[in-house]
Structure 1
Amino acid sequence: MSEVLLSGTDLIKSFGPTDALEGASMLVHENEIVAILGPSGSGKSTLLHCLAGIVAPDNGVVSYRGRDLAAMTDKERSALRRTDFGFVFQFGQLVPELSCLENVALPLRLGGARRKDAEATAREWMDRIEVGHLTGKRPGEISGGQGQRVAVARALVTGPKVIFADEPTGALDSFNGEQVIRLLVDTARDTGASIVLVTHEARVAAYSDREVVVRDGKTRQVALAH
């Protein structure tokens, strides 16, 4: 097994009177795809958000490459999310005022890249994810499946080490969902990125190397036969 890249240990998180995580733990190794499964309200997305440094746990430790995220400054965590982490959400969350090319280039622009360089890299990724013909379109002018592929290109454009995908196929029909998850997984395999994948669909989880089941805020590890 490759080295541990990301870990969450004994994570506790509450939102008001609601306990979302009650001692959840999981590891993500380099070049590994881990699916997080569980019923609605079990804490799946909260676990992903804690691992990504979007939400701070009330207790427990999240470490990336051996460094505690809580010990980082807000600026350092933001920089981490722009460089080492990539994100794909259920509804894409593309910026409607920007073209698809500008959306994909956005993480690079936020990191200080020149527009010309950022858009050149974005074009390469859009071609690779099979949406190169959509560079001039805005999100409102394309289909949901196309939008998710653009979101995948945006997640990959910085060369992240970990891609966090929260129900990336949840808003798509089975055909488009299959295309999106296959593109995401195949590209991550090619680039050596790890994926933390929240899903409720067994066919999507089947693309993972390992499953973590969340129930009532607690985690259970499941080793897959393949």
Structure 2
Amino acid sequence: MNNSPSRTPGPTGPRRAPILAAHALSKSYGATEALRGASVELTAGEILALTGASGSGKSTLLHCMAGIVEPDAGAVTYEGRRLDGLPEHARTLLRRTDFGVVFQFGQLIPELTARDNVALPLLLAGVRRQAAEQRADACLERFGVRGQAASRPGELSGGQAQRVAMARALVTEPKVIFADEPTGALDSLASEQVLTALVHTAREAGTAVLVVTHDAQVAAYADREVQLRDGALVPEPAAATATARVAGDEH
């Protein structure tokens, strides 16, 4: 991307109760501490960027909040209910209905067409094939890849494949989208297309978005940014907080 966008308008007014929250999460892999007491909240309609260097714990935090990984300590709550500790089948069901997950390389099923990849979550939920394909086509249209509906992943460009993955994540109309380095494998133009489509859809549907990135230009699309370092959140400098408060008082 050649130009960093200004922050897009997000939820206004008093901060609402979080739809998703992590409370003092800790997670270790052997002797390596991936998370050390990390806490973060996400409200409906908000786009939050988790930033930090490689190995800082960003993806682990996202995976814990999405119910993919169980933390060793702490709690994850979704709509006021404890998410961590639920049986695997219950967390899997949430990822089919309330959560949408997008990874860096899309992880599309190579044997299926773009349409079938997007329709798959609906089919697994018991939606009839014709209705599922109609909704899949509408979602592909929203992301500008309706013309590639009959193409398989190997026939798509990187940007097209990632937009198909976005369509698949959003076709169930989830309440939360988790995007783990969604533009890490894309060029500047494709990255801008994917991020613009994601922001537009989030605003239109009021979907909460948690995006992991090490790229400041990607974080610029978010309403708010939280930085991790060595598994812990980096506190916002007091001077920056005071400056932001003064600037807000002046308007």
Question: Per-residue deviation at 1:112?
Answer: 1.4
Question: Per-residue deviation at 1:71?
Answer: 4.4
Q: How does 1:36-47 map to 2 (within 5 A)?
A: 36-47=50-61
Contact 1:48–1:164 (8 Å) recurs in 2: yes
Q: How does 1:35-114 map to 2 (within 5 A)?
A: 35-114=49-128
Distance 1:77 1:200 in 2: 27
Question: Per-residue deviation at 1:144?
Answer: 0.3
- 168 and 120 in structure 1: CA distance in 2 versus 1, 3 angstrom threshold: same
- 95 and 19 in structure 1: CA distance in 2 versus 1, 3 angstrom threshold: same
Larger strand percent: 1
Contact 1:85–1:164 (8 Å) recurs in 2: yes
Contact 1:211–1:221 (8 Å) recurs in 2: no
TM-score (norm 1): 0.96
Select between 215-224 and 66-75 the one with higher mean Cα deviation: 215-224
Identity, % of aligned pairs? 57
Question: Per-residue deviation at 1:206?
Answer: 0.5
Distance 2:124 2:28 in 1: 31
State the match for 2:142 in structure 1: 128
Counterpart AA for 1:195: V
Which of the two has higher C-alpha Rg?
Answer: 2
Question: Per-residue deviation at 1:221?
Answer: 5.5
Contact 2:19–2:44 (8 Å) recurs in 1: yes
Counterpart AA for 2:59: S
Alpha-carbon RMSD across the aligned residues, in angstroms, is: 1.5
Picking from 158, 162, 176, the partner of 2:172 is: 158
Asked whether 1:146 is paired with 2:160, we answer yes
Q: Which runs of 5+ in 2 are unaligned?
A: 1-14
State the match for 1:218 in structure 2: 232
Distance 2:143 2:208 in 1: 17
Aligned length: 226
